Amino acid sequence: LGWELCCAAGLLIFHLGFALLEWDQRRYLSLALWAHSVGYGGVLALAPAALRTYFPSKDLGLVYGLLYQCLAVSFTLFNRS
């Protein structure tokens, strides 16, 4: 299987978790958490292979740095309690 298909399957499982929470949060909470964990973990595990496919190896450090900076900014902006 190609990494594109596996990434699409991971995203599908991740979004299935959201659908389960829309149907009934009390009934499907543990299954939705499992779906989110598996789906997000699957996509995150395939990210290095996807980046290596599209970027030359000399630019991977820059690409990873930019992605982690975007992640830090989004956590800072959206994680206010």
Q: Is the pLDDT of residue 81 over 70?
A: no
Please name the amino acid found at residue 58.
Answer: K
Helix%, strand%, coil% for the chain, nearest 5:
90, 0, 10
Q: What is the average pLDDT score of the chain?
A: 87
User: What token pair was written down for 44?
Assistant: 């995150």
Sequence-distant (6+) residues with CB within 8 A of 18 are 32
Global confidence as pTM: 0.66
Question: What would the pLDDT profile of 8-38 be if each residue is shown by its tens digit?
Answer: 898 999 999 999 999 988 899 999 999 988 9
How high is the pLDDT of residue 23?
92
